Structures are given as C-alpha cells and as structure tokens.
Structure 1
Amino acid sequence: MTQPTANSNATPLDTTFNHSTYSLNSFAPRLLDWFAENGRHDLPWQQHQTDTPNPYIVWLSEVMLQQTQVTTVLPYFARFMETFPAVQELAAADWDLVAEHWAGLGYYARARNLHKGAKQLVEVIEETGDFPQTLAGWEAISGVGPSTAGAIMAMGLHRYGVICDGNVKRVLTRWAAIDGDITKSATTKELWELAERLTPVDDSGLFAQAMMDMGATLCTRSKPACLLCPLKGDCVAHAEGRETDYPVKAKKQPKPSKFSDALLIESSDHDILWVQRPDNGIWGGLWSLPLQFVEKIAGKVTGNTKNASKNKQLDVRSNEKVYETEFTTAEQIINEWLTENKLVAESVSHTLLEGAPIKHSLTHFHWYLTPRKLTVNAAQMTELSEKLSAAEITFQWLTEQKAQDSLGLPRAMEKLIER
C-alpha cells in the first residue's frame, strides 16, 4: 500500500475529527489503491489517464451528473460531444438545438446555465487565452458551485481541488459518523472541512474520481457493500452496524400534487399546436402542449387519483392571482379563446384507462397530466395563430413525430404522446 502522506491542512484540523491522525492520513492512500484495482476507468469524460486534461469535458459531464446517474448521462454526453465538440460550438448554438439535445435529462435549469456558461467561458478564453485557472474563476461561471468547481480543478486541470457532492457526503458521514442534518449549514461546513482534510495535495483528481466511484458502487444508499470497502476498518457506521442511518436528513414533507389537462389542439392536417415555455419557470425554454390547470392538492395523493377529493383541494380556476401564476401567457390566451368559442377538449383515450392522467414527479410536486384533444378547422387555426403571434408567443404546428424529432420536449410531453 502507498504510504500515507499528510495533507497540508492536517495539523489544525486533526483534533476536530474522531479518527486518529493515522486513519485520517491513510484514508486517501487506501482509497486510491482500491480505485486503481476496482474503480471505473472507461467513462468518456474521465481525464485521469491523460497528460493534457480537457476542462470542457469535465465541466459538461459534471453539470449533467448533478442529481443524475451515470447510466442516464452517458448517451446525452455522447450526443452533446458529437454536436458540440468544443465549448465554442456550444456557445454559438441556438438555444432550441441545446434544448433538443438536453430534453429528457431533467432539471432543465441546468441546460440554461450550461448554455449561458458556455458563452461566459468563451469570453474568458478570448480574454485570457484559456479556460479559468482558479476555483473562483470557475465558480463565477453560471451553474457552477463549489463542488463542481473543485471537480473541474482536480480532474479537468490536474490541479488541487476538493469535491463534496452527494456521494462524498454519504461516504464521509458514514466513515466519521457525522450525525448532523446534511441540509444544515453547520453540517455542510463540517463535511467540507473533513473533505479538505482528506484530499491529498497531489493526485486530488484521482482522489475525486475514487470518491465518486466509492459512493456510486460500494457506499450506496440502501445496500452498501461494506465487506469490499477499503475503509471498513475504521468506518464508525460500519463498526456500529448503522450504515444506512447515514447521512442524516430531515424527513421530507409529502409533495403537493397538481392536476392539469394537456391540450392536443389539432388542425385538419393533423398538425398539433406546440408552444415554447418562458425562459423562467418549469421547463424553461422547452416546448410543451398548452396546459389547462385544473386544481392542486396539498399533501400526498395515495391510491387511485379518483379519490383525490378526500385530500385538501385548492380550486384556482376562479382565483385570478393564482390563475396568472399557474398559466403562462400563451396558455391564458388559448384558454380564453377556447372559452369565447365554447370549445371543449375531449378525452383522447378509448381504453379502460380513459381519463386517467400520467404522473410526472418534479422536485417540489407531483404533476398529473391528462391528455385532451380538440380538432380545429382552418379558420380557427388561423384565428388562434394570429392571437398568439400578436402576443409575440413562439409556437409551431407540428405532428407528434415531427415535434419529437425537432423540438426540445420535456419528458412529460413525450410520455403524453407515447401513450
């Protein structure tokens, strides 16, 4: 085994933690030895085996991997690299093309920040001749936080950088039995101090890769493979048989639920109306069927959604303030036009599941979306298009297949048209 080498931060912080100085100093060597034999070395964005690391690749992958598993990211990363092989191509691309490539990956604010960040990086490169070379320089890029910046420094530039993402927090809270709520700032500070103490000055990129692999493959959420872990000898949670008690996190409140109708407004040529959502808010900049908000329900909906009436409901159809909050401008125009013309969309399903919505879970709520169809004639199509154009709404009339092929659709829309 590689001999332990103390981090430059060792002396002032050793007394803060429960482990001996030897345990703290040997943490990185044990982990790196395990990584050399058992870690993942073939991920397309990994830079630890090259002498000329590419920070663009690391930045792109790190943004994609935020709250998303590697297996999900792999095809998206490949597609991005094929279309945008360098940051300049990404910066110069139209937003619609970026959105189309991102569609289905979720957490769409990341895509917006990625596109904005690419433009910022190009400005830095044009001014300095290179990517940012400091932690502060990367943290100034849109969507890049301390852990992402540390990962780019360590893996994308082969300089000293510290990461403390979800995987790292899980490993550290178990190893050191840190029982504070990881959503609290005091616990976050403690975890960052420990991560800094353990990260070697040399090979911090390898260490970052190893910590990610440890959390992803061994120290998993529900079934950690402790017998294979190189850190089990002094892992406090393992010694106490309490691995799954960590990390400690306040119990989440049940998510509220929203119910909306998704309108398939179809022309006589079988084209469907698609509207581009505002840059801010849910699915910012992506394309969607117009939605009619029905109601939202506080708390958790259990069982058949037909029993939703037993939960606390908030009917917003007659509440102007909530109506304007829940509906985009395009949807308000469409909703008012339908009401004026006494047009009603009908269920599109002819199966036993007729009228049943699809469930789409977002970060803060569950969304139940019911597809409803309405066919309009040529005159009605023209009238509605003119109203939307007058309000400077971006929209298109496309078949379902053409929309899937050419527009950036959120996964919820794909679910709707695939059923």
Structure 2
Amino acid sequence: MHHATPLISTIVGGIVLAFVLGALAGRLRLPPLIGYLCAGVVVGPHTPGYTADQALAPELAELGVILLMFGVGLHFSIRDLMAVRKIAIPGAVAQIGIATLLGMGVAWGFGWSWGQGLVYGLALSVASTVVLLKALQDRDLVDSEQGRIAVGWLVVEDLAMVLALVLLPALSGLLVPAGASGEAPAASVTDILLTVSLTLGKVAAFVAVMLVIGRRFIPWMLERIVWTGSRELFRLGVLATALGVAFGAYSLFGVSFALGAFFAGMVLAESEFSHRAAEESLPLRDAFAVLFFVSVGMLFDPMVLVRDPWGVLATVSIIVVGKSVAALGIVRMFGYSNRTGMTIAASLAQIGEFSFILASLGVFLQILPERAQSLILAGALLSIVLNPLLFRWLDRYVARQSEAGEAQAA
C-alpha cells in the first residue's frame, strides 16, 4: 500500500501550510484569508519546492463551495429569495452588464477583439461565492437585509454564468478572433435560441423538482433518520443531501454544483431540523473553504505583476472600483440606505470560481488569449486579498456613523 498519494499530500500540504500562514497573518493583524492564499502560491507550480496536485485541489475546493452554499440555503428560505427578487434580479443583470462593458473597454485598449472583450468582461462581472459568504458570516450579516440581497444577487449571477458557460461553445464561431486556428463554424440564430431555451428549461425543471419532490422528500428522510437516534447517521444524511443534490443538479440538469447545493439547503430550511443540519455540516464547510483559497493561490503566477503591471491594475480596478460603484449606484437607485449599498458593493468587489471556469473555457475554445487568463487570475487573487480590507474600512465607517448618530441624539 502506498503511503504517499497525490490526494493525501494535497490535503495535508494545503491545510498545514494554510494553518501556519493563516496564524502568521493573524499575528500581523491581517485576515487569515491572506495566509490561505499565500499558502496556495507556495505550493503552486510557479514557485520552487513542493507542488500540490493542480487537478485535485480545485475539485477539493468545489466541495467547500457545495457545503458553504448548502449552509447558506439552510438560512435562506424561499420566502427570503422572493422578498429580494425586485432588486436582486435587475440589480445583478445591470451590474453584470456594466462590468462586462468596462471589461470590453479595457480589452479594446489591449487590442483584443470584441468577442475576447465580452468573455473577459463577463469573467470580471461575477463575485466569488466563498469570499462573499465568508465576509457576511464573519459579521453575522447572512440573515440581515444586506445579506439577503447579496445572496439573492449572487444566485442571479450564478444563473447568468451557468447560461454563459452553456452558450459559449455554441457562440464560439462568432467570438473567435479572425485568423485563429481551429475556428469553429458560426452558430445559426436557431441553434442559439434552441441552446438558450434548453438551458433555461433545464434550470426550471431542476427548480420544479426541488420544490415539488425535494421539498417533501428531504425533510421526510431526515425525520426518519432522527428517529433512529444516531447522530452519525444524521450527519451523514445531511452531507449526502448536500453533495447528492449538487451532483445530481449538475449531472442531470446542467446546473452548477453551488446552485444545486443552495436549493437543497433552501428546501431543508423549511424543516425543523435546519439548525441542527447547519451545525453538523459546519466543520467540513470551514475545512474545505480553506482549500478553496489555497487552490486560488496555486493558480497565481507572481511574475505577471512584473510582466504586465498595467494590465493587472486595469483588471483589479474594474473588479474593485468599477463593480463596487455600479452596485452602490444600483442599490441606492432602488431606495435602499447608503449602508446597505456599501455592504453590497464591498461584497461584490471580488471574483472567484466562475471567473476561473469561464476563463479556462475561453482559452480552450481559442477565444481568450493566455494573457487574459493570467490577468483574470491575478485580479481574482488581489481582489480577494483586498476584500477583507474593504470590509474592515466599512466596519469603521459604520461605527463612526453610529457614534455620530448617538452624539446628535444626545
């Protein structure tokens, strides 16, 4: 029996180094998240020494995304989702549109084609599930008005990215720049409409199955498990629900793992066992969320900061400044408070897992150049590092506003 395998070494190397560097970051009064990202850079292929398995790390990180979204769904009922639909749907669509246009503008400055700019801009428009939820959970905002809007906004973004990932191969013939080798034939309007209709139909079918069948079966199943009196079996049932529904949603309906897990949790939230299920899944959620940040760090090549500093600066500016200003303006237009707008803006000022998938698919289809993928990865890591600092600044701003209000009342 082999005692050293890629799976074991990747998990052990990632978690141990994340713990060491996360603790060091804490001593330096920095968010532990920065230590987790640095751990990924250290075990990545772009730095000397030990290199973790690049294929396994993202898959392990995906488990963290599934469990985290399942936990959010447990605290986010269907009633909550419908309550924020009037701002989450138009707000997310408008913000995606603005970020994509900004990306296309920067891409035009780089001399890229409109198709390359479109994919590049889309990759910069969607926030990371893990980063957003971790920031909200650290401040107990998931159940607040700001948290419900942010999560609803994120669900709409995820749906938009699922649609984009399905449509991209069909549209590759239109988006591949002229002269690219292996250029695919252009898709007809009929083919595009059929693809869109099929994708929306699959998502609608998944939601219908969860609301009609899952809404009854999942609580019923866990109730029977509780009757056995076995805590281990209940914990296993919760994990099986989260992972099984997420995988089934992806395999049968083409829905993302994260969205499938979110709906599984949201259905279970209506059960009396939702709080217990959240507690049982928490340790694994935290552990695999750390592996997500390690996997992000592994993808980052520090030399891109030297080779292409202006490209990195433009990319980070769109993510941190452009998206934030757009989100703040949209939320304020809907009549919400400045504090709510700033919370949503800070929550969305980063990118993550969907951006990596979209960039990888764009390069595979010969739409995006390698430079675009490097810039997207650099923008992701730097925006994730900056995000806790934005929230720290927001916390201080809120504290000052509260003190000013109390002083006026006195």
Normalised by the length of structure 2, the TM-score is: 0.24
Q: Which has the larger strand fraction?
A: 1
The structure that is helix-richer by fraction is 2
Larger radius of gyration: 1
Which structure carries more relative contact order (alpha carbon 8 Å, separation 6+)? 2
